[in-house]
Each structure stands twice: as structure tokens, then as C-alpha cells.
Amino acid sequence: MTEISKIKLSNAQIAWRAAQDIPDGAYVNLGIGFPEMVARFQPDGRQAIFHTENGVLDFGPAPEPGREDWDLINAGKKAITVRPGTAFFHHADSFAMVRGGHLDVAILGAYQVAQTGDLANWSTGRGGVPAVGGAMDLVHGAKRVAVLTDHVTKSGAPKLVDRCTLPLTGLGCVTRVYTSLAVVDVEEGHFLLREKIPTITLDALQQVTGAPLHAEGQVAELVAPEDLA
């Protein structure tokens, strides 16, 4: 595993890669935490419109410290700003946008993704206080549901699996996974490898993946900017 930790992409590089697939004008919801980084890496000339489920579309970046207005926050309870084009709405409208198929992309984190597209990302099943937020809603309705994740857990276990063993967030909902080693689509019940980092072999990648990786023709090279490493 030490070898993988040396060659794998950083979280910023994974977020950068995911950002390259978001077209100009797309309506996008970014999950709390790691997925929020995607907003930083929009290619020049493209401007996605970000949705936060607590009732804001097309918000601006965080304000300067000390300039926060606590009536203006995102789903992660962090202060945001308004900009020309911002819209406010209540929760029922917000989740109509989510479940009603109006978002182009939802990007979430994951504990496990199964080759069927099942996602587990809300509970480690170990007790404590359970919390789900909007995750179970966000995985239904967006035209694309993408996951950002390390390819393996801290202990080296695959996060791309045959079947999820942790409590499910949704069945058959994930369409693409951006990992620290590869870009993988979920198609018709199997993983389709689209890109891999050039420093790992197909065999080595398969060894750290919990279900067969299929490929159609040439697998592209996954190369992210060095300065984000």
C-alpha cells in the first residue's frame, strides 16, 4: 500500500479531474467537505451554477473572515456570498430541484461504491449518532451522480466493491467514480475503466479494486496538474 500512497492523486487532483467534466452552465450540487473543492477547479470560460440544498442557487465564494452573514450559509453551515444571479428559495423547492431531475450533476463522497452503482456514504454502521442530511435525496434525480474518493480505505481495502457491506445511501445511483487512481464509469452492472494514472499497471489497479474492471478499447491516461499534488 505504501507504493499506492506514493503515486496516487491528491484530493485536489481528484477534484480537478471531476471539474473538467462539468459543462458551462450546468446546475451542480457539491456534497459537504471534499466535493466542495470541485468549485475551485472550473476550467477557464466555464461557469457552473452551484445549488446548496438549504435554499441558494448560484452563490459566491466564502466572505473575508469577519464579514460573514450567518443568514447566508451553505449546506455545510459555512458562510457564502451572493453575486449577480443568486436566487433564494425554501426547502420544498430546493428538494424539488433535487428529486425532480433538475440538477445536471451531484458530486458526493463515498465509503463504498458497488459495481451495480449502489452507494454507501452515510453510515459506518458502528453506532454513535446516525446522520443522513440530504445524501439519500441527492443520489436520486440528478442526471449524473458522481463520486469522489480514494481508491482504497486507509487500511488498504477496496472502496470499489462487488456489493456494499455498509448501510446503503441509494441503489444503482452512481454513474461515475473519480478515484485517486482512476476514472471509472458504472454501466449495466459493472465497472468500466475509462482512465488510470500512468504509474499503475492494469493488474495492480485490479488488485486494489473489489470487482472486475472492464474496458472498451484503450484506457486513457489520467494526468492532473502537478502543482495540485
Partner 1 sequence: MDKRAEAADAVSHVFDGATVMIGGFGGSGAPIELIHALIDHGVKGLTVINNNAGNGHVGLAALIEQGQVDKLICSFPRSADPRVFTDRYLAGQIELELVPQGTLTERIRAGGAGIPAFYTPTGYGTDLAEGKPTAEFDGRMYVQERWLKADFAMIKAELADAHGNLTYRMAARNFNPIMATAATTTIVQATRMVELGAIDPEHIITPGIFINHVIEVPRPAQEEELNRAGAVYP
Report the interface residues with partner 1, using CB under 8 A.
Answer: 52-56, 68-73, 77, 80, 82, 88-92, 94-95, 98-99, 118, 123, 128-137, 140-141, 167-171
**Beta strand pairing status for 87-88 and 144-149?**
unpaired
Q: Which of 72/219 has CB closer to partner 1?
A: 72
The least distance separating partner 1 from the CB of residue 111, rounded to whole angstroms, comes to 13
Question: Of the listed 3, 36, 53, 188, which one is catalytic?
Answer: 53
Residue 215 CB neighbours (<10 A):
12
Q: Pull the grid cell for residue 68.
A: 460573514
Instruction: Tell me the C-alpha distance between 42 and 127, whole Å.
Output: 38
How would you class 185 by CB atoms within 10 Å of its CB: exposed for 0-12, middle for 13-18, buried for 19 or more?
Answer: middle
The least distance separating partner 1 from the CB of residue 167, rounded to whole angstroms, comes to 5
Q: Which of 77/154 has CB closer to partner 1?
A: 77
Q: Which of 104/137 has CB closer to partner 1?
A: 137
Query: In Å, how far from its chain's centre is CA 169?
Result: 14
Q: Pull the grid cell for residue 43.
A: 476550467
R_g (Cα) of the chain, nearest Å: 18
Q: Which of 11/54 has CB closer to partner 1?
A: 54
User: If we measure between CA atoms, which residue out of 229, 224, 227, 226 comes closest to residue 19?
Assistant: 224
Instruction: Tell me the C-alpha distance between 28 and 52, whole Å.
Output: 9
The least distance separating partner 1 from the CB of residue 84, rounded to whole angstroms, comes to 15
Residues 6+ apart with CB under 8 A from 30: 36, 38, 39, 50, 107
The reply to whether 53 belongs to the active site is yes
The least distance separating partner 1 from the CB of residue 85, rounded to whole angstroms, comes to 14
Q: Which of 82/204 has CB closer to partner 1?
A: 82
User: If we measure between CA atoms, which residue out of 116, 133, 120, 125 comes closest to residue 168?
Assistant: 120
The least distance separating partner 1 from the CB of residue 126, rounded to whole angstroms, comes to 13
Catalytic residues: 53
